[in-house]
Amino acid sequence: MAPPVKASVVYKKVDGILSITKDRQLVLFTPNVPPSSPPTLKIHTSEIRNLQQTPATKAKVSVKIVVQPPGGPAPENYVFVFSSTTAARAEAEAIMDPLKEVYANNLKSTTSASTPNAPVGSSPAASGPLAMAQVTASKTQDVLSDATLLSDFSLQKSLLDKNAQLHQRFNEAFKKLKNEADAIPLDQFSKQFWSPRIHLLRAHAMERSQTQGTYNVFSAVKPQRNNEGVVTLKLSKEQIQLIFAQHPLVRRIYDDLVPNRKKEGEFWSDFFVSRLFRKLKGEKFTASDVAAIPDLDKYLDYNEDADTGPLFAVPNIPRFLDVEGNEQDHPETYGNDDETQRPEKDQGLLRKLNTMSGKMMANVAPFDRSNLHGPVGMDEKTFDELQLKDLQGAEVDNRISLNIKETHGLFAGSSARNGQSSTVSSAAAMSDFKRQLLEPIGTPLEFNDTSKRQAASTSKGLMKSIKQRRSLLSIISDADTGLSRPTIDSAIMTHNTTIEFLHYFWDVYLSGDEGRTGELAKLVETLHKSLERIEAVATEADTELQQKQEDQRLKDQEFFKRTGKRIRAQNDASGGGKALHDLLKSTEMAVKYAETQYQRTYQEQVAQNGAQVQT
């Protein structure tokens, strides 16, 4: 143990002594005034996340300690300025050295502590996913923040590769932007593109951080019999590594036998037909089933799990999950009939598979036990979850009462309550009302021709609205609009990109960031071009319609020549630019609205600005 270290420092403009306790658990700051006061600041060394020190060349010596309290929202910074006139630098070193040591240990222990029960001879094969899991566990918070996601191009690229539709949209938008507003740089564009889709990125990042774990390799290795009846077995390098990782015993035997007593290939071909293999796999066998291989059979009685130790050294397993607990608590209630409820008796497939799963899980860093300083074993929440609640009474009603204050008339301008003209006095209204009621309501209604016409026109209006509604419910089809499929497709594409640009526009416009006005202006330009693009599609549709009508006319003429009969001209005027504009009406409206908004704000601000310049 190092002796306690002390140094005179200034912390938050208070002179005091900075010291580290003997066990290096705490860093204490004790102010000088009043004398012998208790330390005002305690820092747990285990919570230190970063240490910074002024470079040796500077005259002023200060140290910054970044601390992340468990469960705290954000790291806290503590800056200490070493105030000793003679030996500030030396004192700082004296404080920092042990802290650095502790900090380094912390780093190590957090890494190893997350896999507290990893098997001693952890294999190289397991370290891949293991390392991966640790990295993701420690970085999850940062990785999923908006800024990181927006700047992670490889992530965006992989998402685009995966999602073809998104990729297409990205390309379309990018192409259009590049052609027309060449000054928008790629990174700006990608930011605009992704910021409304940040949830997709986040989901993808989560998805990518999930890796496939190891699998039970014995079940994957299967001998195959080819046409000539020769049994072959394919075994890859990775599979061998996995076998060694999952079954240290095989590795030991391999080390013992190869290459002194058996050749590599011979070892494996022997192994996969041996009794040992059957045993490790958990299959039942009898001595007559499998031929004896003396070299391997001598390991049969070896308990594979003996030297790995218990896989889960959790001190408190909840009683609900603890099969061994059954044995201890009520051995008489669990008879011998249910093998799955007995901890040590069964050596068959079930147990093997269980052990296998246990081994695989042990190599994965637990994601849910991030708080290493929390209470060991069952916490309050787990306990609550495990409680049997079905016999409890109904829950107490915990509604929150809402106190409503009458807001009406609180503010000026709400006096016009009944919009009806108040020219009629209330007394006159009442008498009028009474007069209306005097007429007996039981008498039949009489209708004349006018009323029949009125009824018919009302009915027509209703039918019109029903038809309108029905058209909204059905999907756009070629027949309804009179447009050809390619035109509709290009209209849809134009609509998509326009909406895309509208997203960008509002994003930048509402950000209120003066620095982005140039970007905004460009986007407005692009939006305006969107209208032209719609116009272009409409022109296309118009020519298409003309073509169609021309074709029809020619056909009619031909028919007339051939038969001498004239077909009644089908004046099919549906389709064309008008139909297209109808289709994209709301899109155009949205663009125009955005433009007017922008121009109004722009002119207002220009005017304001001019006024400011003049004053």
Partner 1 sequence: MDGVDATVRGSVRTSSAAPPSLLTIILDTNPLSWSHLSSSLPLSAVLKTLLIFVNAHLAINHANQVAVLASHVDNVAWLYPTPDDGDASKQSSQTNGHTEVADEHRVVSNKYRPFLTIEKNISKNLRNLLTSDIPSAEALKSPPLLAGALSIALAYANLQLLKADPMTSDSASTGTGAVGAADLDAHTSALRTARSGHQFVSRILIVSVSQADLSSQYIGLMNSVFAAQRLNIPLDVLRIGERTAFLQQASDATSGVYLTYDPPNSTANGTNGAATASFSSATAGLLQTLMQGYFSDVAARKLLVMPGSAEVDFRAACFCHGKIVDLGGVCSVCLSIFCLPLEFTSCPTCQSPLRVPKSVTTKPVAFARRKKKKRKIGDGGRDSAAGTPVPN
CB of 403 to partner 1, least distance (A): 6
Taking the C-alpha atoms of residue 186 and residue 64, their distance in angstroms, rounded to an integer, is 39
Q: How far is the CB of 453 from partner 1 (least distance, A)?
A: 8
Site stretch for partner 1 (CB under 8 A), options 68-76, 144-152, 247-255, 522-530? 522-530
Interface residue with partner 1, options 466, 492, 567, 589 (CB under 8 A): 466
Burial class (CB within 10 angstroms; exposed 0-12, middle 13-18, buried 19+) of 254 = middle
**Judging by DSSP bridges, how do beta strands 41-44 and 26-31 pair with one another?**
antiparallel
Query: What's the rounded Cα separation, in Å, for the pair 520 and 507?
Result: 9
Residue 199 CB, nearest approach to partner 1 (Å): 17
Please report, as residue ranges, which positions from 10 to 39 form the binding site for partner 1 (by CB under 8 A): none
CA distance 67 to 559: 91
Q: How far is the CB of 410 from partner 1 (least distance, A)?
A: 6
Smallest gap from residue 605 Cβ to partner 1 (A): 4
409 is written with which tokens?
A: 């008339």
| Helix 517-563 / helix 164-180 crossing angle, nearest 10 deg | 100
Q: How far is the CB of 223 from partner 1 (least distance, A)?
A: 56
Assign residue 75 a region (left: φ > 0; alpha: ψ between -120 and 50; beta: otherwise): beta
* Residue 295, both tokens: 């070299």
Within 523-582, the residues that bind partner 1 by CB under 8 A are 524-525, 528
Sort residue 274 into left (φ over 0), alpha (ψ -120 to 50) or beta: beta
Give the per-residue contact string, 393-432, with partner 1 (x = CB under 8 A; - = no): xxxxxxx--xxxxxxx-xx-xx-xxxxxxx-xxxxxxx-x
DSSP 233: -
- Beta-sheet strands, E only, within 194-323: 224-225, 231-232
Contact residue for partner 1 among 210, 517, 547, 557 (CB under 8 A): 517
Map the footprint of partner 1 across residues 355-394, applying CB under 8 A.
393-394
Q: How far is the CB of 367 from partner 1 (least distance, A)?
A: 31
Q: Is 475 in the site for partner 1 (CB under 8 A)?
A: no
Look up residue 36 and give its two tokens.
Answer: 């012998």
Of the candidates 216, 219, 221, which has an alpha carbon nearest to the alpha carbon of residue 234? 221
Residues 6+ positions from 277 with CB-CB distance below 8 Å: 218, 271
Contact (CB, 8 A) for 499 and 196: no
Strand partners, 31: 16
Q: Compute the least distance from the CB of residue 465 to partner 1, in Å.
A: 4
Minimum distance, C-beta of residue 147 to partner 1, in the bound complex (Å): 16
Comparison of 426 and 570: residue with beta carbon closer to partner 1: 426
CB of 578 to partner 1, least distance (A): 20
Closer of 227 and 465 to partner 1 (Cβ): 465
Determine if 596 is a binding residue for partner 1 (CB under 8 A): no
In whole angstroms, what is the distance from residue 596 CA to residue 602 CA?
10
CB of residue 510 to partner 1, shortest distance in Å? 6
443 makes contact with partner 1 (CB under 8 A): yes
Closer of 300 and 456 to partner 1 (Cβ): 456
Comparing CB distances to partner 1, the nearer of 572 and 604 is: 604
2 versus 430: smaller Cβ distance to partner 1: 430
- Tell me the number of residues near partner 1 by CB under 8 A: 94
**328 versus 599: smaller Cβ distance to partner 1:** 599
DSSP state letters, 161-225: HH-HHHHHHHHHHHHHHHHH-TTS-HHHHHHHHHGGGHHHHHHHHHHHH-------HHHH---EE
Ranges within 482-511 binding partner 1 (CB under 8 A): 509-511
According to the 3-state scheme, what is the secondary structure of 87-146?
A: CHHHHHHHHHHHHHHHHHHHHHHHHHHCCCCCCCCCCHHHHHHHHHHHHHHHHHHHHCCH
What are 191's two structure tokens? Answer: 């930011």
Quick one: 573 or 607, whose CB is closer to partner 1? Answer: 607
Which among 240, 226, 229 has a CA at the least distance from the CA of 268? 240
**DSSP assignment of 277-345:** HHHHHT----TTTS---HHHHTTTT--TTTTT--S---S---TTT-HHHHHHH-TTTS-TT-GGG-SSS
Cβ proximity of 526 and 501 under 8 Å: yes
Q: How far is the CB of 528 from partner 1 (least distance, A)?
A: 4
Task: Return the residue of 147, 473, 475, 479 that touches partner 1, per CB under 8 A.
Answer: 473
- Nearer to partner 1 among residue 147 and residue 445 (C-beta): 445
Q: Which of 111-119, 195-203, 433-441, 555-563 is the region at the interface with partner 1 (rule: CB under 8 A)?
A: 433-441
| 458/547 with CB nearer partner 1 | 458
Q: How far is the CB of 450 from partner 1 (least distance, A)?
A: 5
Backbone angles phi, psi at 352, to 5 degrees: -60, -45
CA-to-CA distance for 314 and 116, rounded, in angstroms?
10
Which residue in the set 228, 380, 390, 439 belongs to the binding site for partner 1 (CB under 8 A)? 439
Minimum CB distance to partner 1 smaller for 537 or for 594: 594
Closest CB to partner 1 among 230 and 613?
A: 613
Residues 182-221: x where in contact with partner 1 by CB under 8 A, - otherwise, as a string: ----------------------------------------
Output 35 or 512, the one with its CB closest to partner 1: 512
Which structure tokens are listed for 72?
Answer: 């705290």
Rounded CA gap, 399 and 220, in Å? 56
Interacting positions 445-464 with partner 1 (CB under 8 A): 445-448, 450-459, 462-463
Name which position in 60, 199, 469, 561 contacts partner 1 (CB under 8 A).
469
* Shortest distance in whole angstroms from residue 452 CB to partner 1: 7
